[in-house]
């Protein structure tokens, strides 16, 4: 007697993806609006950075399907994210110094 085991694929629905897409579109609109408005630089950069992080998290979670993956995959990728951020912060000082080092 053979048993048929059905695999259930857990994933997002079209409605979920549409809502995420609309949220991403709205956040992009806010970012464009901030670029055109006369907002203090610190507030603008903080808002743009925050919106960018939220947008990246939504894209990774839903469109790259990491929300629906096992925890072990996330735990494999998360240390690499931290490593890349540390590397970026390590070389950020050099990146800001380079334009001032050019001969005029």
Flag whether 4 is in a domain.
no
Chain position carrying tokens 């240390």: 79
Flag whether 9 is in a domain.
no
Flag whether 85 is in a domain.
yes
Tally the domains of the chain.
Answer: 1
Residue 65 · residue 11 · CB < 8 Å: yes
Flag whether 7 is in a domain.
no
Flag whether 6 is in a domain.
no
Residue 55 · residue 32 · CB < 8 Å: no
Angle formed by the axes of helices 14-36 and 41-58, nearest 10°: 160
The boundaries of the domain holding residue 87 are 14-101
Answer whether residue 84 shows pLDDT above 60.
yes
pLDDT bracket for residue 10 (50, 70, 90)? low
- Whole-model pTM: value is 0.61
Flag whether 8 is in a domain.
no
Cβ neighbours of 62 (radius 10 Å)? 20
Residue 62 · residue 12 · CB < 8 Å: yes
Q: What is the pLDDT of residues 21-75, one digit of tens each?
A: 999 999 999 999 998 988 888 888 889 989 998 998 888 888 877 777 777 777 7
Answer whether residue 102 shows pLDDT above 70.
no
Flag whether 66 is in a domain.
yes
Flag whether 3 is in a domain.
no
């Amino acid at each position: 007697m053979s048993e048929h085991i059905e695999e259930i694929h857990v994933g997002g629905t079209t409605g979920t993806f549409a809502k995420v897409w609309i949220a991403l579109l709205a956040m992009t609109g806010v970012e464009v609006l901030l670029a055109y408005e006369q907002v203090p630089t610190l507030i603008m950069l903080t808002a743009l950075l925050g919106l960018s992080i939220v947008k990246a998290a939504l894209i990774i979670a839903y469109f790259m399907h990491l929300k629906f993956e096992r925890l072990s995959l996330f735990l494999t990728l998360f240390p690499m994210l931290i490593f890349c951020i540390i590397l970026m912060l390590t070389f950020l000082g050099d990146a800001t110094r380079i334009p001032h080092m050019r001969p005029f």
